[in-house]
Amino acid sequence: MPLPKKQPKSYKSALFWLAAGIIIIILWSLLQSSGVAREEINFSVFLDSVEQNKVSEVTISGSKIEGKYTDGSAFKTIAPSQYNDLVKILRDHKVSIEVKDTTRSPWFSYLFTWLPIIILILFWVFFMRQMQAGGNKALSFGKSRAKMFSGLQKKVTFKDVAGVDEAKEELQEIIEFLKNPKKFQRLGGRIPKGVLLVGAPGTGKTLLARAVAGEANVPFFSISGSDFVEMFVGVGASRVRDLFEQGKKHAPCLIFIDEIDAVGRQRGAGLGGGHDEREQTLNQLLVEMDGFDSNEGIILIAATNRPDILDSALLRPGRFDRRIVVNMPDVKGREEILRVHTRQIPLSKDVDLKILARSTPGFSGADLANLVNEAALLAARRGQNKVTMKDFEDSKDKVLMGVERKSMIISEEEKKCTAYHEAGHALVAALLPEADPIHKVTIIPRGLALGVTQQLPLDDRYTYSQDYLEAQLAVLMAGRIAENLFLNKTTTGAANDFEKATEIARKMVCQYGMSDLGPLTFGERDDLIFLGRDLAMHKNFSERTAQLIDEEVKKIVLRNYNRAKNLIEENREKLQAIAETLLEREVLSSEEIERLIQGKPLKSSPRKKRRTSRKSAPPGKAKARPSTKKSSLKTKKAIPEGSLS
């Protein structure tokens, strides 16, 4: 889209200099009027002072007289207009006389007379020009803030979008209609008026919309849902009308509203009731999408990650006819996304994107783009000419577990406790076939954690079996068990493990029907529309049932606690070998843990050890090993997120 011509700025410059001149004149007049503080006296007192030789000098300006006494103090007075002997009296008493001309040029008087009127006229002209200029100028807050992109700008096509093949197929029909509408209209069909893209943050909803505009080669208007509503009443509805007016002028075109839940929430849920400005904006949007006036050639695409809070009238056929779910990419999709983002990055020969895709389950497109960027920045910091697989692995560890806290000094006792804690997680995870395989174990502090045991599934998981969930419970319990058995101590390091274990067990009982209470669910979720979060759960069961639920949760957790304890007691030597090797190397890979369990020696040389404090941590000051944000337990609102720690 060609850049708009710049408005001539001559009138702005003239206005600036005129205002500056007026300010200078006003300041000058104020300075002139101000001066030495003078005592105002009667004319008779002035004459008496002259006769007593107390006056040293005077300045006469018409009838105004200003002067100084012999002691240096100043005075002023007014002489009668018919008093003709004043000069003679002053000369007789040897008073210095200065006379100033009182006549001023007429333009000066005219300027101060007409100055307020001139200022008002200039202000009115400036205000009218701002109104005519449109955009975000004065009184134009009712205009749409949508940005228009056209073919002259850099295009985004479907080649730049990967990992969402099903969504691209759905949108291909929209593109064909925009290119050749008669093909669909000849049999009486009509194209969908609106397409709603639904998906988690970072899955590529906005990128898909831009790709549709690039493929169809039509004007593309982009606006955020929050840009409609302002503090002024009626502004949102006005902007909706103006947006569709612009769309009609450039039809056929695409209008993309990002985060439409900001303006499309369920009506009646706002603080203002029916008079809420957001509701008026939504009403106007409903009318424009499917009202009396037809908007032929305009296709509305919107994106949201909260479709559950949108108004039902907005989602009905005739407005948003189609809902396209943009899912998280699978292994194949992640590999395609990595190839897209590494096109312009020089890669070393050892980089295998297939392995990288398999080791990043649960990553969205935005996460993968960030991973590639972090790897490129890390390679640049290391002074390399190409990005290696080690750069990707180190960047992945940074994203998953946090940044290494190399400067942190911990005691030998606390480091040993962390090593046995993480060794317990690693051993049980490796021995249980239902658990996710171990990817890496470290006792290097990262982020908020003193140590991390990272598990990565071999394949993407969409459902979870009871065996898998109970295996995860056993792995979570193993850290505390290892501390008790080998160090005979209990620390706060397992607090986060217990929190996640309790949540998994409670969901097994209350949501999944995986307990002796039978295939039942307990508790009704309360979707708070205005707040946009599931913050409450209604209790639809008795106190007796609540007691039974608590007993079942405890039974499931303790069953897997004992299961993990038995495994550790049967393999004490293996856990001790893992812990001692962790103290020596600080990081162990899955292959190294497998060799230690099998009793085989390790091949690689140990890492350089970090500094540790010789003093033990004071009692009660043991640091918890909280989870980090990525998880081996990836699910759709099923299992709490967080790495084992």
Residues 6+ apart with CB under 8 A from 638: 464, 507, 511, 512
CA within 13 Å, CB half, 274: 0
Looking at the chain, the number of H-run helices and the number of E-run strands are 20, 18
User: CA angle, corner 214, sides to 210 and 217, nearest 5?
Assistant: 135
Count of other CB atoms within 10 angstroms of residue 554: 12
Phi-psi region of 158 (alpha: psi -120 to 50; beta: other; left: phi over 0): alpha
The 3-state DSSP class for residue 267 equals coil
- What are the backbone angles phi and psi of residue 466, rounded to the nearest 5°? -65, -35
Cβ 157 vs Cβ 255: under 8 Å: no
* Positions marked catalytic: 422
Alpha-carbon gap, residue 410 to 451, rounded angstroms: 12
What are the DSSP calls for 35-99, one per residue?
A: -S--EE--HHHHHHHHHTT-EEEEEEETTEEEEEETTS-EEEEE--TT--SHHHHHHHTT-EEEE
Cβ 504 vs Cβ 559: under 8 Å: no
In terms of C-beta density within 10 A (0-12 exposed, 13-18 middle, 19 or more buried), how is residue 144 classed?
buried
Residues 6+ apart with CB under 8 A from 47: 89
How is residue 323 written in tokens? 């809902």
Cis amide prior to 252 (ω within 30 degrees): yes
Q: Cite the beta strand spans of 225-336 per DSSP E.
A: 253-258, 298-304, 322-326
Alpha-carbon gap, residue 493 to 476, rounded angstroms: 11
User: 411 forms bridges with which residues in the sheet?
Assistant: 613
DSSP 273: G
Count of other CB atoms within 10 angstroms of residue 640: 16
- What are the backbone angles phi and psi of residue 383, rounded to the nearest 5°? 75, 25
CA within 13 Å, CB half, 370: 13
**Which helix (DSSP H) or strand (DSSP E) does residue 530 occupy?**
none
- What are the backbone angles phi and psi of residue 300, rounded to the nearest 5°? -95, 125
- What are the backbone angles phi and psi of residue 301, rounded to the nearest 5°? -115, 130
| Unique residue bearing structure tokens 């998994």 | 504
Cβ 98 vs Cβ 106: under 8 Å: no
- What are the backbone angles phi and psi of residue 146, rounded to the nearest 5°? -65, 140
How is residue 257 written in tokens? 């509203």
CA within 13 Å, CB half, 205: 26
List C-alpha distances in Å: 407 to 213, 370, 445, 446, 615: 50, 25, 10, 11, 17
Cα 521 → chain centroid? 36
User: 613 forms bridges with which residues in the sheet?
Assistant: 411
Four-residue CA torsion sign, 249, 250, 251, 256: negative
